[in-house]
């Protein structure tokens, strides 16, 4: 590296230190001509490609600032956000690629934010997945509830309530099967005899029988 003082292209390393997070190396160099010393910082190349096509270096501060907006009013500390950004970077670097898209960064944030705070997760997911209706929120909430029930320990109130509901449904089915012998009771047939009104028919029959007598009287 060129000396920043005399622009000499030759320098020697006098001290090397690794950063605390292991993501960079700090070297102390001395110029071979002017004997002045300067420090260089070496980091591995890791870039993010935005939707517009612009390429920029990955920054944990941008991850923190993006997630911090979703965590407004939530009990989330700055240390937790810094740890989340570190976890996101480690996950992306473990893929073995030097360039990632902004969508992949957002996708890597979601699982860590979900474990940190579910409300902040819903806020961030609504922007990342572009929720357009309440149905999208309902699907996300149902997914969180099912995940909570699956991960709940057996002694937790959620697990006990689900087991009690299942036992109640099973007991109700057994009671029905014992009362009916396991068969559906046949429907009772309506054996009541239908009664037909007799007023109009009887009058007609009487009038028919009386008609010949009336004609005989008129003839007389």
| pLDDT for res 130 | 83
DSSP state of 12: E
| pLDDT for res 38 | 93
Residues 40-78 have pLDDT tens digits of 988 777 889 988 889 998 889 999 998 999 999 999 999
Establish if 214 belongs to a structural domain.
no
C-alpha to C-alpha distance for 130 and 124, rounded to whole angstroms: 10
C-alpha to C-alpha distance for 79 and 59, rounded to whole angstroms: 16
Pair (126, 80) in one structural domain: yes
Pair (91, 141) in one structural domain: yes
Establish if 194 belongs to a structural domain.
no
Q: Does the predicted model carry a pTM greater than 0.75?
A: no
Q: Is the dihedral of CA 143, 147, 150, 156 positive or negative?
A: negative
Pair (23, 76) in one structural domain: no
Question: Could you say which residues of the chain have pLDDT below 70?
Answer: 21, 23, 151-220
Pair (24, 57) in one structural domain: no
Pair (144, 96) in one structural domain: yes
Task: Find the domain containing 27 and state its range.
Answer: 11-43
| pLDDT for res 202 | 46
How many domains is the chain built from? 2
Domain edge (last residue) among 153, 181, 199: 153
The distance from CA 186 to its chain's CA centroid, rounded to whole angstroms, is 47
Radius of gyration of the chain (CA): 42
Pair (63, 129) in one structural domain: yes
Domain edge (last residue) among 96, 129, 153: 153
Pair (148, 56) in one structural domain: yes
Establish if 167 belongs to a structural domain.
no
Pair (103, 16) in one structural domain: no
- One DSSP character per residue, 149-188 reads HHHS-TTSHHHHHHHHHHHHHHHHHHHHHHHHTTSPPPPP
Establish if 68 belongs to a structural domain.
yes
Establish if 202 belongs to a structural domain.
no
| pLDDT for res 1 | 79
Establish if 188 belongs to a structural domain.
no
Establish if 145 belongs to a structural domain.
yes
| pLDDT for res 214 | 39
């Amino acid at each position: 590296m060129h000396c920043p003082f005399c622009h000499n292209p030759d320098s020697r390393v006098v001290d090397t230190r690794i950063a605390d997070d292991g993501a960079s190396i700090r070297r102390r160099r001395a110029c071979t001509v002017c004997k002045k010393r300067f420090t260089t910082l070496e980091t591995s190349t890791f870039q993010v490609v935005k939707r517009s096509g612009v390429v920029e270096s990955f920054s944990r501060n941008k991850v923190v600032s993006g997630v911090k907006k979703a965590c407004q009013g939530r009990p989330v500390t700055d240390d937790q956000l810094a740890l989340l950004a570190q976890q996101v970077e480690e996950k992306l670097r473990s893929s073995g690629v030097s360039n990632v898209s902004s969508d992949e960064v957002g996708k890597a944030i979601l699982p860590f934010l979900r474990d940190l705070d579910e409300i902040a997760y819903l806020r961030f997911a609504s922007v990342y997945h572009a929720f357009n209706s309440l149905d999208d929120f309902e699907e996300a909430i149902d997914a969180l509830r099912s995940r909570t029930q699956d991960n709940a320990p057996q002694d937790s109130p959620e697990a006990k309530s689900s087991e009690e509901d299942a036992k109640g449904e099973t007991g109700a089915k057994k009671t029905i099967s014992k009362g009916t012998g396991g068969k559906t009771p046949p429907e009772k047939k309506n054996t009541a005899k239908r009664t037909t009104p007799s007023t109009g028919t009887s009058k007609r029959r009487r009038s028919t029988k009386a008609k010949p007598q009336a004609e005989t009287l008129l003839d007389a």
